[in-house]
Amino acid sequence: MKEKVEVVIAQFNSIVGDLCGNTDKIINIITENRSLDIKKIIIFPELALCGYSPEDLLLRKDFSIAVKSSIEKIKENVGSNEYLILGAPNYSEDMSEIWNSAYIMNNKKINHIYDKQFLPNYGVFDEKRYFSKGNSNFVIDINNNKICILVCEDLWNFQNLYEKNLEDIDFLISINASPFENTKVSKRIDVFKKIVEKYNFNLIYLNSVGGQDEIVFDGSSFLMDRNSNLVHRCNTFKEENYKFFILDKEFSNDNTYRVETNTDELEDLYEAIKVGTYDYIKKSNLNGVLLGLSGGIDSALTLAIASDIFKKNDIEAVLLPSIYTSDLSIQLAEEQCNLLGVNFSTISIKDVDNAINNTLKQRFDGLSRDITEENIQARARGLLLMSISNKTGKILLTTGNKSELAVGYSTLYGDMSGSFAPLKDIYKTDVYNLAKFRNKISRVIPEGVIERLPTAELAQDQYDIDTLPQYDILDKILKAFIEEKKSLSEICDLGFEKSLVSNVINMVIRNEYKRRQYAPGVKVSEKSFGRDRRFPIVSRFKY
């Protein structure tokens, strides 16, 4: 009878820099899956030991010493019947070189260290700043199974590293820290199907899960047989240790697999925001969230997301009406708080607004009223919210969306105040789509919030459409300019008036300085504001 090999893939949520905590979790997973009577392969994602990405922590000597110490500790916990594949940094003796590596351990020894060969340097990736390039493939034989081990970007470039030593491999194990983006889950599967079909191996794809700063990893690890059939797919946005068997160069057919090929993009988007927001706060050792609730769609969706991931007592909503705040706004905000069972308070900003305007009255003498007075109201709210945040220790969530951030429809040090922005990478039209999606699960946002015209309520009878195109039009122009990098003429060819497109583009360019000062938020698109899209604040290039 041929001997089975049990494989455990640990869809793992690392905390960057928490080498002790990550090491303990890794050892616990090894111990929990230990059995003396069967050979095991236990696999962890890319840089699971230190989290992705540690950035300039990698360049510190004390960090490198701690990494080496953790690897030694883990190595001592790997038995003779176990093979451990672990993503971790690999340092040269003098620290002059660092590699992004997969450690292969067995019987308390490091059998081999595979160094990543393709180093991504686009979007959020900056690996050429830190890592040296690996220069050789690695294939290990376990129970007559030829197994190739790669790290993340290597698999996307498999045809470029394919050599004779990769002919006739039985399994390819790819360990990854691949961030979530809209539609990326299906894109990965489609791309790797073509590679599997061409080179004829079984694929074990393991991805990280969880949030780190603005990035969120979705997991969605999967198994694919050599006929490019999806054999199993792990949970999305959840930690999971999945066990299966391999036998005689194939996946064993006596295990029950779960394959979910249909994905709901809105559900994935909503979960990404939840996980990214939760992990940012919890990994920062912070407790509780606070937000200003206006009766508008953005703050309503942000409150709904918060209520899905935190205890009700850890959430506080503050209503901050001005002389321009309508009764409807207050009614809808209170209705949502009661609907969700979260704590809320009402603090009028009228006195603060009057005090600031009176203080500036002499200085502004002879100057007409303009947007300055509108922004004073927003900044009064920011001051009060940040003060409550300081006093209570609750983190202030800012509620702006990508459309507003793109064109500068927000007030610096006002409604832009806050420590984290869940909707930072969500266009306004998708804010509405997500609100409707969430309400289908259970009613968390009053219908009146979704149906009303968007308004900042900083002046009498003020609506967003007074100064901006309708959001369905604005978002199409913004996506063409930001995501697709189209020129003015190319966007006009889509059917938009030149003056309108020019105006929108100029708003985007003028407000780069605001975006540089905005809170971090969950990245869900290919071109989020921040590390994905880097433009000079001062530039005279004509678009």
Active-site residue, 61 included: no
Q: Which of these is catalytic: 25, 40, 116, 424?
A: 116
pLDDT single digits (tens) 399-423: 999 999 999 999 999 999 999 999 9
Q: Which of these is catalytic: 25, 39, 46, 527?
A: 46
Task: Provide the pLDDT for residue 256.
Answer: 58
Residue-number span of the structural domain to which 379 is assigned: 268-468
- Domain end: 440, 468, 496, which one? 468
- Reference 406, options 462, 495, 468, 455; nearest CA is 468
Active-site residue, 46 included: yes
Residues 38 and 163 in one domain: yes
39-43 and 82-91: which strand pairing? parallel
Residues 175 and 210 in one domain: yes
User: Residue 49 phi/psi, 5° resolution?
Assistant: -65, -40
Residues 288 and 221 in one domain: no
Of the listed ranges 35-39, 95-99, 157-161, 220-224, the least confidently predicted one is 35-39
Does 457 have pLDDT greater than 80? no
pLDDT single digits (tens) 366-405: 999 999 999 999 999 999 999 999 999 999 999 999 999 9
* DSSP track, 303-353: HHHHHHHS-GGGEEEEE---TT--HHHHHHHHHHHHHHT-EEEE---HHHH
Beta bridge partners of 6: 40, 245
Task: Provide the pLDDT for residue 73.
Answer: 98
Task: Provide the pLDDT for residue 2.
Answer: 66
Buried b (16+ CB within 10 A) or exposed e, 138-175: bbbebeebbbbbbbbbbbbebeebeeeebeebbbbbbb
Active-site residue, 20 included: no
Residues 218 and 280 in one domain: no
Residue 211 · residue 280 · CB < 8 Å: yes
Residues 136 and 175 in one domain: yes
Residues 196 and 272 in one domain: no
Task: Provide the pLDDT for residue 258.
Answer: 64
Domain for residue 535, yes or no?
no
Residues 241 and 368 in one domain: no
Domain for residue 481, yes or no?
no
pLDDT single digits (tens) 173-223: 999 999 999 888 888 999 999 999 999 999 999 999 999 999 999 999 999
Task: Provide the pLDDT for residue 186.
Answer: 86
Write the CA distances from 316 to 344, 394, 414, integer angstroms. Answer: 6, 8, 19
User: Residue 16 phi/psi, 5° resolution?
Assistant: -60, 130
Q: Which of these is catalytic: 50, 148, 152, 234?
A: 152
Residues 161 and 272 in one domain: no
Residues 226 and 279 in one domain: no
How many residues are given for the chain?
543
Residue 215 · residue 179 · CB < 8 Å: yes
Residues 245 and 160 in one domain: yes
Residues 136 and 185 in one domain: yes
